[in-house]
Amino acid sequence: MRKINDSKGNLLCIVYKDEDWVEGLNFITDNSLSIQVGSWWYQNGKKLAKHKHNIVSREANITQEMVYVKSGSMLATIFDQEMNFIEEVILKEGDMAIMAYGGHGYKILEDNTKIIEAKNGPFVSVEIDKVKYE
């Protein structure tokens, strides 16, 4: 696992490669992020307690997202909050990136690439939730 920060030390992205998996429950993000991402690695027969989630008021002032490469590959370009270029990362099958702050862009590198994206919501609209740059 690798954390990408801006020049001020602010977290921009967490890159979690396929080889970073740890057996058991492993939360990749800390409790302060609006998006919570963890990995599970258990053996046959492991039981997880039945549970439900309580309705708890939460406030998030930014959308944070996770992208997981199911197959293929893509290039993730990471920017700071002012959209200054920071770094490019190639994500391959089994890799994941968690976009905490700043900006990002993606380029698909192979035909038939499949990505799973998750982010906190609710989603308001493209016009309100995003500023697009070309």
- List per-residue pLDDT tens for the chain, 134 residues long: 999 999 999 999 999 999 999 999 999 999 999 999 999 999 999 999 999 999 999 988 999 999 999 999 999 999 999 999 999 999 999 999 999 999 999 999 999 999 999 999 888 888 888 888 87
Going from the N-terminus, what domains does the chain have, and what CATH number goes with each? 2-43+57-129 (2.60.120)
Q: Using H for helix, E for strand and C for coil, what is the string for 34-77?
A: CCCCEEEECCCCCCCCCCCCCCCCCCCCCCCEEEEEEECEEEEE
| Predicted TM-score of the model (pTM) | 0.91
